[in-house]
Structure formats: C-alpha cells, structure tokens
Copies of this chain bind each other. A is one copy, B any other.
Amino acid sequence: MEQTLILIHCTDSVGLVSSIAHVLAAHQLNIITMREYVDEATKRFFARIICTGKSILPDEVRTELEGVLPKGAQVTVNPKEQKKLAILVTKEPHCLGDTLVRFFFHTLGAEVCCVIGNYDNLREFTERFNVPFHYISHEGKTKDDFEKELHRTVYHYHPDYVVLAKFMRILSPTFVAHYRGRIINIHHSFLPAFIGANPYQQAYTRGVKLIGATAHFVTDDLDEGPIIAQDIKPVNHTYTAEDMRKAGKEIEKAVLSKALALVIEDRVFVTGNKTVVFD
C-alpha cells in the first residue's frame, strides 16, 4: 500500500498530535509510525509520521495541516526522494569510496552529483563511477577566491546536501551561509574531545583507550555544529598515532555512512545546536 511521509516542526502547544491525527484520519490515512518530540528548552515540536492509505494530494494534506498548526509551522509531505549530494574531498579516499560504492549499487538512497577535490588524486577513482570530478586547488588563491570557485561549482549542481568527506579546509561563515543546515562534516574525533587539528596525535599523546568519530552539521563555529552521529572503537597502548589514524578511518567511514542514511531518510531535525534523530 502507498506510504506517505510527513515531517513537521513548529512551536509546541496543547493538542498538536490531536490536530494532526484528525487531519490524517479525515483523509483515511492510517498512522503506521509516528515519532514526535517536544524540546522543552526551545518549546519546539517535531514529528515524523508514516501513514498508509489511498492516493493523496500531498499539497492538500500539507495545506490542511498548516491550517491546524501554529503559525510558521514547517510541514513537508513526501519529501524529495532522490536527494543530490555534492561531495568535497581532500586526499583521503575511505569515506568517498564507501559513499560511491553505495551510490553505484543503489543503496545510498541518494545521488552523488559531483565530487570536488582540492587535490586531484581522487579523480581517477571517482570517474570510474561516472561521477564528475572537479579539481579546485586552494593553492595560490585567497581563501575568498577559493571558496567562490568552490561555491560556483557546487551551486551548478543544486545539491540538497554538501558532504565534507574528509575535506581538510576550514570553510568560512560566508560559504557556510550558502548551504545553512545542509553541510555535513565527518570529524576525526569523538567531539568535543580533540577539537581541531591532528586529533589522532592528540589521542595518542593522551593515551586514550577509545577513539571516535563524529558526523555533524557545519555551522560558523568549527567543530561546534549539531551532532548527528558518533561512534568509537577501542584502542590500546600498542597503537601508534598512525595505527589510531588507521583505525579511526574505519569509524569515520561508518559514522558518516550512518549520518548520511539518517539525513537522506529525513530522520534528522535541527533544534538549536542539537539534532533530534528519529532512528
């Protein structure tokens, strides 16, 4: 039977679920799964609803829902299914490789519309998957010029999300503003531990027994955006900083992959500097 996916976030008030459910029942839509959450701190209401039922006119349902919800409510009925991702890389291939293989075998749930590298070494690999690769070096340019060129190229593809798959340049607030809430980064540490550069060297020096990775939305503050997913792996005294880096790549790959799946399936909302994840 046909499924309808509905996403809602709005100011909280008494009776929201009732109002929403009433509209759906009037359309003979049966709620199969409803996840909702009220952020008490910000008084925001979030819901992700899956219904089954006869064919509907999404616009009609959306308009009716907006009619019963607080002013300014954001309602999405059947969001875009095949989202487009622009992937930015530097030199490391593990996150890109995993994403392209999933794309190739139709298990990513999204389209990789382009890969942009500030080095050229991942071109050959990318092109084997018939995905366009753009080499935009940061060298010999101002940061501003580099980012303008980057933006021009990304913009051309109209991606839904920009994925920093081990892209090692820090993006300015100006660039981030173009894709607010739509840039996803994989950070090579269990944030907020080891903020900044060379976290595996830091982890090695500190003698930690676990290393981690964090996927997060990018905001103006480096490494401070809303966290989507995190995971860790045990290490021990025999690990050199290089061994930790190697083990870390496995976690980075897994965590980015998990975060992308959550975002692509419309399971992630942002509230303040946090995420609500209906997984």
Chain A positions near chain B (C-beta within 8 angstroms):
12-22, 24-25, 28-39, 53, 93-94, 97-98, 101, 104-105, 107, 125, 128-129, 190-194, 206-210, 212, 226-232, 236-238, 250, 254, 257, 271, 273-277, 279
Which label, helix, strand, loop or mixed, suits the secondary structure of the A interface? mixed
Separation of A15 and B191 alpha carbons in the complex (Å): 43
Q: How far is the CB of A109 from chain B (nearest CB, A)?
A: 11
Which residue in chain B gives the minimum CB-CB distance to A13? B30
Contact between chains at B230 and A210 (CB < 8 Å): yes
Per assembly, the copies of the chain total 4
Q: A18-B24, A275-B237 are in contact. Are A101 and B105 (CB under 8 A)?
A: no
Q: A101-B93, A101-B97 are in contact. Are A37 and B33 (CB under 8 A)?
A: yes
Please name 12 further chain A to chain B contacts, defined as beta carbons within 8 Å, in addition to the given A21-B21, A236-B279, sorted by A numbering: A13-B30, A18-B24, A21-B22, A37-B237, A37-B238, A97-B105, A105-B125, A207-B227, A207-B273, A209-B277, A210-B212, A237-B271
- Which of chain B's residues have a CB closer than 8 A to the CB of A125? 104-105
A selection of 29 A-B contacts at a CB cut-off of 8 Å is A12-B30, A13-B30, A15-B21, A17-B17, A17-B31, A18-B21, A18-B24, A19-B25, A20-B21, A21-B21, A22-B22, A33-B37, A34-B34, A39-B237, A97-B101, A98-B98, A98-B101, A105-B125, A128-B129, A192-B193, A193-B193, A206-B227, A207-B227, A209-B228, A209-B277, A210-B232, A212-B232, A236-B277, A250-B254
* Other-chain residue from B18, B21, B38, B277 in contact with A32 (beta carbon distance below 8 A): B38
Q: How far is the CB of A279 from chain B (nearest CB, A)?
A: 8
Q: How far is the CB of A49 from chain B (nearest CB, A)?
A: 9
Residue with the greatest number of chain B CB neighbours at <10 A, chosen from A14, A15, A209: A209
Q: How far is the CB of A185 from chain B (nearest CB, A)?
A: 15
Separation of A36 and B209 alpha carbons in the complex (Å): 18
Contact between chains at B226 and A210 (CB < 8 Å): no
Contact between chains at B128 and A107 (CB < 8 Å): no
Contact between chains at B209 and A230 (CB < 8 Å): yes
Contact between chains at A207 and B226 (CB < 8 Å): yes
Which residue in chain B gives the minimum CB-CB distance to A23? B18
- Which of chain B's residues have a CB closer than 8 A to the CB of A19? 25
- Which of chain B's residues have a CB closer than 8 A to the CB of A192? 193-194, 206, 208
